[in-house]
Amino acid sequence: MAKIKLEYIWLDGYLPTQNLRSKTKVEEHENFKGTLDEIGLWSFDGSSTKQAEGGSSDCVLKPVAIYPDPDRINGYLVMTEVLNTDGTPHPSNGRATIDDDNDDFWFGFEQEYFIMDVKTELPLGFPRGGYPKPQGMYYCSVGGLNTHGRDLVEEHADACIKAGLNFEGINQEVACGQWEYQLFAKGAKKAGDEIWISRYLLDRLTEKHNYYIEYHPKPLGDTDWNGSGMHANFSNTTLRTCGSRETYEKICEAFRPVTKEHIEVYGAFNDQRLTGKHETQSISDFSYGISDRGASIRIPIMVVQKGWKGWLEDRRPASNADPYKVAARIIKTVKSAKI
């Protein structure tokens, strides 16, 4: 028998942005294979996470995905859904709202973020009381003059890959101290699971670097510095195979009348980012276009070159958005097109 460490991870009930929570369960197993079938439900004090009242504080954790923990011996990361004690989804459970049981929808999320210095509470590369050189030389840069935080970024990439996430890439972004990574999954729930696990690994790594991660979509306020998004690349069988510009445009048009409904789940304070500047469309407008990074939805040029077969990119989700809720809303809108 060997002792294993199971890190149960869930989302709390804080508004407008939920936070990651986790706690460790140590169990004895013989020949543990790292599957969901080998582990069970657990509970936590919901009164401490804004998910229950003190007089009836138990909430249930239901494991939905398990990954090797890259930093622990005999450790595993367990993504969970929060349930009520009667087994129904808790109101804070965005994953349960996804209508994609056959995994027809594929998602690729581009997670942007700022690495912040704990001591200065500024992005890496920012001096106290001022600003570094303007944007221009930071995007995909190399060298100590313009590149800040690569030690953390590389360590995070390795951790995600060791955990078995479908990690697809990293790059420094437009602003100083801003980075991005990409994850892809076949199935909306799996894509959401992997973003949340990747965020957990990133946040945990900052503990030993004296950094923290800022997911606010416009942490530098009303300045000429870019904000942070979580662009959602998505497809289903129709988009991957239709070969029809008319079909693509019909799906894009389905998003227009529900612009408000999308913005409501695309992250708090997104109005500060979606201003119509810095490669964004205005939060009050909707547009789509081929290879247009200033549109709400971009039709990638590769889709056109492949005969209108591929995917779409919704550029509106903020960096602090819940990928479960983003995916659920996108799926609902695409299905409403009734292609």
What domains lie within the chain, and their CATH numbers? 2-93 (3.10.20.70), 106-336 (3.30.590.10)
SS3 content of the chain, % helix, strand, coil (to 5): 25, 30, 45
The predicted pLDDT at position 133 comes to 93
Q: Which two tokens stand for residue 27?
A: 């169990």
Altogether, the residues listed in the chain come to a count of 339
The predicted pLDDT at position 194 comes to 98
Query: Which residues of the chain carry a pLDDT beneath 50?
Result: none
Over residues 18-31, the pLDDT tens digits come to 999 999 999 999 99
Q: Which two tokens stand for residue 335?
A: 């299905």
The predicted pLDDT at position 222 comes to 82
CB atoms inside a 10 Å sphere around CB 135: 16
The predicted pLDDT at position 230 comes to 98
Give CA–CA dist 329/320, Å, rounded: 16
Helices (H), the chain: 150-162, 188-206, 237-241, 245-255, 259-264, 301-305, 323-336
The predicted pLDDT at position 1 comes to 83
Give CA–CA dist 162/199, Å, rounded: 15
The predicted pLDDT at position 298 comes to 97
Cβ distance 264 to 332 under 8 Å?
A: no
Per residue, the 3-state secondary structure of 272-295, as one string, reads HCCECCCCCCECCCCCEEECCCCC
Q: Which residue has the tokens 């209108």?
A: 308
The predicted pLDDT at position 212 comes to 98
Which residues, in sequence order, are CB contacts of 95 under 8 Å at separation 6+? Answer: 64, 81, 189, 192, 193, 324
The predicted pLDDT at position 229 comes to 97
Sign of CA dihedral 168, 252, 103, 229: positive
Distance linking the first and last C-alpha atoms of the chain: 54
- Burial (Cβ within 10 Å: 0-12, 13-18, ≥19) of residue 206: middle
The predicted pLDDT at position 221 comes to 84
Which residues, in sequence order, are CB contacts of 101 under 8 Å at separation 6+? Answer: none
Q: DSSP label at 116?
A: E
Distances (CA, A) of 233 to 69, 110, 285: 27, 8, 20
The predicted pLDDT at position 129 comes to 84
